[in-house]
Chain A
């Protein structure tokens, strides 16, 4: 009985994604896909000419690191400096609100709020601070990815706050705080040298997984991002949905490499956190 359940579980968790990965590899070497003509390494060789891919990878890393970095700074500040506020109604309930919305809804909300013809822009025009909506600064579909980062931070910081708050209680940091204060450490020293390292190390696997999810996010960068540079998932999807079927192998190759790369990152992070567990 357990074996049946285990097989079913393995098929869902590992088998199907692995089959997809093998399929993508098959496309990338010309043995799968609508126009496959037999084994070839031409797409792998062409990879070095894909400069847009490198730009896309760098932009995605920048967005993922910035979003997760900002969100965790906000969450750490709240958990370490605003413990009382976190326990006072309605703050705990409000923290759950952004978590209730799908990412596309958050992206659309920010689009309506921050676009050139959005609510803030119209208010600014009505107040006479700008002449036309076009004078409003580019906060979405901007070169620095501010719109994408804002959306990701709005969705991530409540989750991180709840996570850190749980870990704070588990690690009995309040008691440690009293102890370090008794030993003469300042509030800032306790936060920097004791609490933050403990929370970050314990939360590391979740933070890395979240960063990977941001790296692979599709709907937020599609709505709030530019055509160039594009985040990886938008870049790959565009390749897979182009009008030219001959583009499919390269799209699958990039998707394959990205998946393998992220699997290695997850594996290494898991090993690292196991070795340095607190």
Chain B
């Protein structure tokens, strides 16, 4: 009986103290190490990557290629945990408030999360100057070295480069609107075919539309400007509300998730969907989820192009191992695999001119996109991502001035 009681008491105490048993690492000490030291210390460690797990192609790339590769090369046991955006930020805040090292070592992030993580000083860095494969990246490229108008400054590592594309079904839409200027007339003439997802991709569409309306993308470069936002968002809401009754379900509701819109598109309930990845249509058709008649394009005068990144958490328990994983993910092998439209179709962040002739040739000979526009064709149709405040304001105002408007 005594043994049983002691066991139960110990279990109770273990439950109370479990959270404080992890190791707290000093960021300065971690960053002072040479790459050789990082490699030595990072081997045979577990790494937890928090990322969006909503795409089977991306999950397969991680589970079937990246995890076995980092295990083989470094003995790293890479685990992925579901979470993105504010979930990452709130997890880190809660851990910090509890005085605990993080259960997350690294996270897949983009500009708005980068902005929030910088606000709470949640990222370890600068890290890219340590990593050999970062030398293959051109950080002076504004679509890579600047994230939502914030200099990356080594605090996150570029992973992929994408551009917003409109996806349509060529069977029901033989002549899609080729520009934002044509969009309102098209929607009025074809009611119920289009809607705007009330989430990240939808907001990227609205930002692109707003920049197109302004006619001068440079207005949205640099820090957030209230007067620019007010002027052009007002114009945007005027246009959107004028065609709201012609949206799917007469504009009485908007999909809360992109996956829902993709589902509506796949079922034929709407004729358009959107993707932040200009090549996504290829893998969705290959998967059999979208019809073979699905096509993607970038409307004139352009859409937002940006990069997505990997950040290492400041309170990470295995920062060296996380750096090894990040460096591997930026390697020509991993980037090549990821760019294959049959694998993921995510455009590389590597500067091909910095690669060996052999590696460059592999990138140039990748299977071509069949349903998505070629990168060379949309090179001149790209806008830089504006400052994060444009996104937060548009998201709030879309609800106030469109969703809740009578």
Q: Which residues of A contact B (CB under 8 A)?
A: 1, 4-5, 7-8, 32-35, 52, 115-117, 133-134, 138, 141, 143, 222, 226-228, 240-245, 248
Determine whether the beta carbon of B252 is less than 8 Å from that of A34: no
B112 sits at the interface (CB 8 A): yes
Known: A8-B12, A227-B254, A228-B403. A117 touches B119 (CB 8 A): no
Interface pair B268/A133, CB less than 8 Å apart: yes
CB pair A5 B8 closer than 8 Å: yes
Q: What residues of B have a CB within 8 angstroms of the CB of A1 in the complex?
A: 5, 8
Q: Which residue on B lies nearest to A134, using beta carbons? A: B192
A residues less than 8 Å from B392 (CB atoms): 242-244
B166 smallest CB distance to A (angstroms): 20
B86/A243 in contact, CB under 8 A: yes
Besides the known contacts A1-B5, A244-B395, 6 further A-B residue pairs in the complex with CB atoms under 8 A apart: A4-B12, A34-B90, A143-B252, A226-B253, A242-B392, A243-B112
Instruction: Flag if A117 contacts B269 (CB, 8 Å).
Output: yes
Provide the residues of chain A in CB contact with B116, threshold 8 Å.
34, 245
Assess whether B310 is interfacial by the CB under 8 Å rule: no
Question: Complex formed: what's the CA distance from A226 to B264 in Å?
Answer: 15
Chain A residues with Cβ below 8 Å from B329 are: none
B269 / chain A contacts, CB cutoff of 8 Å: 115-117, 133-134
Asked whether, in the complex, the Cβ of A34 is within 8 Å of the Cβ of B192, the reply is no
CB distance from B142 to the nearest CB of A (A): 22
Which residues of A lie under 8 Å from residue B256 when comparing CB positions?
Answer: 222, 227
Contacts of A138 in B (CB 8 A): 249, 252
- Determine if B249 and A141 form an interchain contact, defined as CB atoms under 8 angstroms apart: yes
Which B residue's beta carbon lies closest to that of A226?
A: B253
CB-CB contacts of B6-23 with A at 8 A, as 1s and 0s? 001100100100000000
Contact residue among B5, B252, B399 (Cβ-Cβ distance under 8 Å from A226): B252
Closest to A55 in B: B404
- Is B87 an interface residue, CB under 8 A from the partner? yes
- Contacts A34-B119, A226-B252: A117 and B268 contacting too (C-beta < 8 A)? yes
- B90: chain A residues at CB < 8 Å are 34, 240, 248
Residues of A contacting B85 in the complex (Cβ-Cβ under 8 angstroms): 241, 243
* B72 in the interface (beta carbon within 8 A): no
Rounded to whole angstroms, the CA-CA distance of A118 and B267 in the bound complex is 8
A to B CB contacts below 8 Å, 12 in the list: A5-B8, A115-B269, A117-B267, A117-B269, A138-B252, A241-B87, A242-B392, A243-B392, A244-B395, A244-B396, A245-B89, A245-B119
Shortest Cβ gap from B203 to chain A (Å): 8
* Docked CA distance A5–B8 (Å): 8
Distance between Cα atoms of A248 and B388 in the complex (Å): 17
| Min CB–CB distance A136 → chain B (angstroms) | 10
Q: A34-B119, A222-B256 are in contact. Are A243 and B391 (CB under 8 A)?
A: yes
Complex CA gap A134/B190 in Å reads 12
Q: Does B97 contact A (CB under 8 A)?
A: yes
Q: Does B40 contact A (CB under 8 A)?
A: no
Residue of B nearest to A242 (CB): B395
Distance between B19 CB and nearest chain A CB, rounded to angstroms? 13
Q: How far is the CB of B94 from chain A (nearest CB, A)?
A: 9
Q: Using Cβ atoms and an 8 Å threshold, which residues of chain A touch B264? A: 117
Q: Is the CB of A227 within 8 A of B119?
A: no
- Expressed in whole angstroms, the Cα–Cα distance for A195 and B307 within the complex equals 67
A30 shortest CB reach to chain B, Å: 14
Given A141-B249, A243-B85, decide whether A4 and B198 contact each other with a Cβ distance below 8 A: no
Residue of A whose beta carbon sits closest to that of B198: A227
User: Within the complex, what minimum Cβ distance (angstroms) separates A4 from chain B?
Assistant: 6
| Bound: A248/B89 CA distance, A | 11
**Would B9 and A240 count as touching, CB distance under 8 A?**
no
Contact of A34 among B12, B93, B395 (CB under 8 A): B93
B120 at the interface (CB under 8 A from A): yes
* Other-chain contact of A141, B253, B267, B395, B399 (Cβ < 8 Å): B253
Q: Are B253 and A227 in contact (CB under 8 A)?
A: yes
Q: 0/1 per residue, B272-301, Cβ < 8 Å to A?
A: 000000000000000000000000000000
Residues of A within 8 A of B267 (CB): 115, 117
- Beyond A4-B8, A244-B392, is A32–B268 a contact (Cβ under 8 Å)? no
* Residue interface mask B382-406, A partner, CB < 8 A = 1: 0000001001100110010001100
The CA-CA distance from A240 to B90 in the complex, in Å, is 9
The answer to whether B5 and A4 touch across the interface, beta carbons within 8 angstroms, is: yes
Cβ-defined contact, A35 with B119, below 8 A: yes
A222 and B256 alpha carbons, distance in the complex (Å): 8
Q: Which residues of A contact B249 (CB under 8 A)?
A: 116, 138, 141
Query: What A residues does B87 contact at CB under 8 A?
Result: 241
Most B Cβ at <10 Å: residue of A7, A33, A115, A244: A244
Interfacial chain B residues near A52, Cβ < 8 Å: 399, 404
- Which of B5, B388, B396, B399 contacts A227, CB < 8 Å? B399
Q: With the chains together, A115 CA to B12 CA distance in Å? A: 49
Contacting pair B93 A33 (CB below 8 A): yes
Cβ of A226: which chain B residues have Cβ within 8 Å of it?
252-253
- With A and B bound together, what is the CA distance between A241 and B85 in angstroms? 8
State which residues 182-240 of B face A: CB under 8 Å.
Answer: 192, 198, 203
Given the complex, which residues of A lie within 8 Å of B192, measured CB to CB?
134
Return chain B residues, CB-CB under 8 Å to A242: 86, 392, 395-396
CB atoms of A32 and B97 under 8 A apart = yes
CB distance from A219 to the nearest CB of B (A): 12
Report B276 CB to chain A, min CB distance, Å. 14
Distance (whole angstroms) from the CB of A114 to the closest CB of chain B: 12
List 5 A-B pairs, minimum CB-CB distance, nearest first.
A117-B267, A117-B269, A226-B253, A244-B392, A34-B93
Give complex CA distance A143, B89 in Å. Answer: 34
Contacts of A243 in B (CB 8 A): 85-86, 112, 203, 388, 391-392, 395
A105 CB to closest chain B CB (Å) equals 16
A115 to B265, CA, bound (A): 13
| Chain A residues within 8 Å of B12, by CB | 4, 7-8
Question: Do A4 and B119 touch across chains, with their CB atoms under 8 A apart?
Answer: no
Whose C-beta in chain A lies nearest to the C-beta of B264?
Answer: A117
B5, B86, B264, B399: most-surrounded residue (chain A CB, <10 A): B86
